[in-house]
Amino acid sequence: MTLPRRLAAAWLSRLRPAAHVPSVAGLRPAVGSPSAAGLPSAARRLCVAGSAGLPPRLWRSWLGVVRSLARPSRLRPVVRSVIAAPLAVLFVGGIAACSGDEPAVASPFADCSALTSPPPSTAPSAPSAISDLPDLALPCFDGDDQVSLRSLRGPAVINMWASWCGPCRAELPVMQSLADNAQGKLTVVGVDTGDTRDKGASFAGDAGVRMPTLFDEKSTLLNSLGRINLPVTVFLDANGKSYVHPLPLDAEGLAEQVRKHTGVTVTP
């Protein structure tokens, strides 16, 4: 149930200053919150709107205040002014809890724990060198752990893509096929670039993409490589030497580039 704008405006005009309290339209009740039964319908809506996302302890405090305001005898102006400020803070806290940056779409990607280890097929007598990739770290899409790009070990393929990029939508399933067929020989990692988490996760989930993926909201890696357009694929050999391919790839072209720049033969 949402709070009607007329009711919100009337309520916020009581609290001073009302201009500092954001809109409450569209808020929903928190799961497992105490019941607001017995309150007038308007107060019940206010209770639900203000408490959205609050922990149970703060929810009970909010509920108590709303019950007091719903009584026939109105609070005296002095009492109202005393509770207005903390009540506004509590109200804004409930709204802030609803607007967190957690994605609404679950991540379809694997975690990034294996990215900094060389593929099992790499000869143990010849450990992978530190790569010549840009010296920066990006969060893993699944979990937000920071991954240093220079800690990635080759042979590897790093594919930069975005949900809004048409060629990426055709290429990314081919990259997933490469990851499926190259397990143990080659590390394949995606970088969702200049995108939002929800849109990236939604597209990847629909396309069946599961490979470990980093999240680069500000296109930091793309800019560091001096590139503008997507997709971009970086091939990294076992010695840490990288090659940047700036164009989309089909299965045949990808297999050729992998063989040429990583020394690994695999068919996507």
Q: What percent of the chain is predicted at pLDDT more than 90?
A: 47
Q: How confident is the model at residue 245 (pLDDT cuts 50, 70, 90)?
A: very high
Mean pLDDT (whole number) for 209-219: 96
Predicted local confidence at residue 268, as pLDDT = 86
Regarding pTM above 0.85, the answer is no
- Could you tell me whether strands 146-148 and 187-193 are parallel, antiparallel, or unpaired per DSSP bridges? unpaired
Question: For 26-37, what is the mean pLDDT?
Answer: 43
Please provide the CATH number assigned to the domain covering 137-262.
Answer: 3.40.30.10
pLDDT at 265: 93
242 has pLDDT over 60: yes
Please check whether residue 137 is in contact with residue 146, taking contact to mean a CB–CB distance below 8 angstroms.
yes
In the chain, DSSP assigns E strands to 137-139, 146-148, 156-161, 187-193, 213-216, 232-236, 242-245
For 186-199, what is the mean pLDDT?
96
Q: Encode pLDDT of 147-160 as tens digits.
A: 999 999 899 999 99
Which is more confidently placed, 77 or 99?
77
pLDDT tens-digit readout, 54-87: 555 555 665 565 566 555 554 455 445 545 555 4
**Least reliable range by pLDDT among 68-77, 100-109, 131-140, 142-151:** 68-77
- Cα distances (angstroms) measured from residue 139 to each of 142, 158, 266: 8, 15, 28
Question: Where in the chain is CATH 3.40.30.10?
Answer: 137-262
Band the pLDDT of 118: cuts 50, 70, 90.
Answer: confident
At 221, the pLDDT band (50, 70, 90 cuts) reads very high
CB contact at 8 A, 47 and 61:
no
Across the range 7-16, mean pLDDT stands at 50
* Contact between 190 and 222 (Cβ < 8 Å): no
Cα Rg of the chain (Å, integer)? 26
Q: What is the mean pLDDT of the chain?
A: 75
Fill in the amino acid letter for 216.
D
pLDDT band at 187 (very low <50, low <70, confident <90, very high): very high
Q: Are 116 and 153 in contact (CB under 8 A)?
A: yes
Determine the Cα–Cα distance for residues 118 and 186; give it in Å rounded to an integer: 8
